[in-house]
Amino acid sequence: MPPVVVRLQKFLADAGVASRRASEALILAGRIKVNGRVVQVLGSRVNPEQDAVTVDGKPARLKRKLYVALNKPRRYVCSRKDEKGRDTVYDLLPREWSNVFTVGRLDYDSEGLILLTNDGEFSLHLTHPRYGVAKKYLATVEGRVNEDAARQLGRGVLEAGEWLRARAVRVHHSGPSGSLVEIELTEGKNREVRRMFGALGLAVKRLKRIQIGRLKLGELRPGRWRTLTDGEIKTLLTKI
């Protein structure tokens, strides 16, 4: 089996040294050595298992890739630090996982499935609109959400000059005291679900994300996390 080689700038990015573009600048500046020799040629390749790479004399090593599913409780923020001193999702994770970041966000009052990783390409695939990865939510809404309102959400609503549209809407329950609505989105704009219902004069009392792509929240309890299986990672990266 031939050795696995990668471009030097990709290796540096995967090792957490810098982005690929910034890594190219480090290479051109002569700050990178491979097996003791300065390498300044972009596109040079290395074998991560055999070659010794240093940056300014310090070893650069590949970091273990982490893929974590967390059931975010309400009243937790997705920032690493909060200026108001509120709890963060990072408080729920092992301290040694200091290099993971959230894949997208859930706002302070929302709950449910959120992913964390240190793999930038994985995060990009799940968050960039061009990949169209769907996210499903359960929204508890004040008042009655009828079928006309559901169809309007599917057609799209204009809120604050921005067009917001659900890929699918399903009303589980509708009554004068409240409604339970399942809504599926593909773009993930800021506070999108709350804004969509707000455009129809409806307030969301509780919002829970239950699925990302084919990955479901399942029985994972609030505040608990688990690492993803290789199969789940592959499924998330597979276009539906």
Residues 16 and 120 in one domain: no
Q: How do residues 160-184 score in pLDDT, each as one tens digit?
A: 999 999 999 999 999 988 999 999 9
Residues 117 and 21 in one domain: no
Residues 102 and 47 in one domain: no
Residues 20 and 113 in one domain: no
Residues 144 and 204 in one domain: yes
Instruction: Establish if 166 belongs to a structural domain.
Output: yes
Q: What is the pLDDT of residue 30?
A: 97
Residues 123 and 144 in one domain: no
Residue with tokens 């699925």: 211
Q: How do residues 132-151 score in pLDDT, each as one tens digit?
A: 999 999 999 999 999 999 99
Instruction: Establish if 1 belongs to a structural domain.
Output: no
Last residue of a domain, one of 18, 43, 59: 59
Q: How do residues 97-124 score in pLDDT, each as one tens digit?
A: 888 889 999 999 999 999 999 887 888 8
Residues 179 and 150 in one domain: yes
DSSP string, 119-158: -HHHHHHHHSGGG---EEEEEEESS---HHHHHHHHH-EE
pLDDT average, residue stretch 6-25:
86
Residue with tokens 């409604």: 179
Per the residue annotation, which of 107, 109, 119, 230 is the catalytic one?
107
pLDDT average, residue stretch 192-221:
97
Q: What is the pLDDT of residue 1?
A: 47
Q: What is the pLDDT of residue 98?
A: 82
Residues 52 and 114 in one domain: no
CATH of the domain at 80: 3.30.70.580
Residues 221 and 205 in one domain: no
Instruction: Note if 107 is an active site residue.
Output: yes
CA distance 110 to 118: 23
Query: What domain range is 87 assigned to?
Result: 67-130+215-236
Number of domain units in the chain: 3
Residues 153 and 39 in one domain: no
Residues 122 and 144 in one domain: no
